[in-house]
Structure 1
Amino acid sequence: MKVNWGLIKFVVVSGLVVFLFSFSKSRNENRKLTEIKIEFIDENDPFITVNTVNKLLIQNKDSVTSIDKETLVLKEMEDRLLKNPMIRDAEVFVTVDGVLGAKIEQREPIGRVAASPHFYLDSDGKKMPLSSVYAARVPLITGTSVSDFSEVTPLLLKIKEDPFMKSSVVGVHVHSNGTVDLRLRKHDCKVLFGKPTAIEKKFQNFKAFYKKTKQDSTLSNYGLVNLQFENQVVATKK
């Protein structure tokens, strides 16, 4: 009987490849982790510490070097991170050299609600607790509603994105009919913004009024600035 050496070689080589792959996989899984690397991918100041993230990742372990790669369940780690009220999104992974990595996106506060207790309103229009690590410099939200922020959220986002308005507005008061007043940082006049619609146009009108009165040094003479009319600013002196 003729021996098929080609087939025998193929079977032997295939078996060797499978053995080496299995051995390498088993050895890799049984390796200990070497370190944790945390990366905050947002541009916000830290509302949660790296130490807190570390604890959420390794749970009751003394250190990361006591954990086998085989015992890791990355999905559970991500779920633990996402349950933290300061975290918007998280991705957990392990590198081939045993580094446990986590990319963290924090939630972004755009206003602080004067409720009892105070809390932030984030960029998704959701409640966010205050942080013991860092206090965000955002407008204070007052008024009748402390539950529905769907209408005022777009206004606060626009304020945040506009350098002039961001530096000027320190307070947003929401009335029961949905209209809004703005409180300024350096001036005691009240700005009647009205409904949070035509936001950019109202910003332009206010900037033009501010520039004109600053040149004339007359802004301090006004107690009320009304932006509710689309094509004009109605100002009332004190």
Structure 2
Amino acid sequence: MFLYGFTTNRNGSKKVKSTVVEFAAGDNNFLTHSMVDKMLIQNDEFVKNQPKRLVDLHFLETNVSANPYVEKIAVFLTIDGVLKTTIKQRTPIARIVDKYKSFYVDKYGVKIPLSTNFSARVPLVLGVREPEEIKELTTLIKTINSSSFFAKEIIAIERDAQSEYTFTVRSGDYKIIFGELIDASIKFKKLTAFYNKAFTDKTINNYKAINVKYHNQVVCTKQNQDGEQ
């Protein structure tokens, strides 16, 4: 018992000799290792060289998790005195542009500030402001991202006052008039069938609007003969 207590006390008196920050594989680059190190502050001091027994892991986790780019975090000490911090950063699914501000949101609808370190390639979204609108948007984005084609094809989303959506696409100058978020999976099936035919026929650039808001219909508006809309 004495030997155990002596060993524990001696281990606790050892100082934190280094810090290691690990990001989840494939994570975004909002945060850097040096940025995280600056959050590992306890008693107004960097934790390195502080005695292990004085390090409050819960406090450090709480401090780092308050950062808006952090989704999950774990902080722990190794026997040899290394403080390890593992972080999963938030993954943006859309960038909302409002009249006075712009920010990302993740799949949970959590707002993520823009970063000078990293720019996410996600759809630009207009007309979404309120929490319930953001929640609906995350549902729409989830459906879009379930298709590798539409995840790349749809580059902007606009929601109007009637809660109807219009998409801007990558492959041409036409718009997709999606309507309300009702029967979304059916609408995307109609769009898929239309795209398959239009790409095969090479007629996709003949259109200025593809409307799937009506039940069981795809209504297309063509460009003028001279190419003007």
TM-score, length of structure 2 as denominator length: 0.89
Deviation at 1:166, TM superposition (A): 1.2
Structure 2: any 5+ residue segments left out of the alignment?
224-229
1:134 corresponds in structure 2 to: 118
Q: Which amino acid in 2 is paired with 1:137?
A: R
Q: Tell me if structure 2 keeps the 8 A contact 1:48–1:131.
A: no
Q: Which of 160, 182, 202 is equivalent to 1:217?
A: 202
2:129 corresponds in structure 1 to: 146
Task: Tell me, yes or no, if structure 1 residue 228 matches structure 2 residue 213.
Answer: yes
1:159 corresponds in structure 2 to: 144
2:36 corresponds in structure 1 to: 53
Structure 1 stretch 81-90 or stretch 227-236: which is displaced more?
Answer: 227-236
Q: Residues 96-140 of structure 1: CA distance to partner in whole angstroms, max 9, x if unpaired?
A: 121111111111111111122211121111211001110000000
Deviation at 1:63, TM superposition (A): 6.8
1:118 corresponds in structure 2 to: 102
Task: Tell me, yes or no, if structure 1 residue 85 matches structure 2 residue 68.
Answer: yes
Q: Is the radius of gyration larger for structure 1 or structure 2? A: 1
Q: Using the alignment, how far apart are the partners of 2:215 and 2:56 within structure 1?
A: 56
Q: Using the alignment, how far apart are the partners of 2:135 and 2:162 within structure 1?
A: 14
Deviation at 1:62, TM superposition (A): 5.5
1:22 corresponds in structure 2 to: 5
1:10 corresponds in structure 2 to: none
Q: Using the alignment, how far apart are the partners of 1:126 and 1:86 within structure 2?
A: 10
Deviation at 1:41, TM superposition (A): 2.1
Number of aligned pairs?
Answer: 219
2:178 corresponds in structure 1 to: 193
Structure 1: any 5+ residue segments left out of the alignment?
1-17
Deviation at 1:61, TM superposition (A): 3.4
Q: Which amino acid in 2 is paired with 1:121?
A: V
Q: Which amino acid in 2 is paired with 1:124?
A: Y
Q: Using the alignment, how far apart are the partners of 1:128 and 1:51 within structure 2?
A: 20
> Match of 1:119, SS?
strand
Q: Using the alignment, how far apart are the partners of 1:62 and 1:74 within structure 2?
A: 13
Q: Residues 133-175 of structure 1: CA distance to partner in whole angstroms, max 9, x if unpaired?
A: 10000000012x3223121111112223321111101100011
Q: CA RMSD in A?
A: 1.6
- The runs of at least 4 consecutive aligned structure 1 residues that moved more than 3 Å come to 58-63
Q: Using the alignment, how far apart are the partners of 1:122 and 1:74 within structure 2?
A: 27
1:171 corresponds in structure 2 to: 156
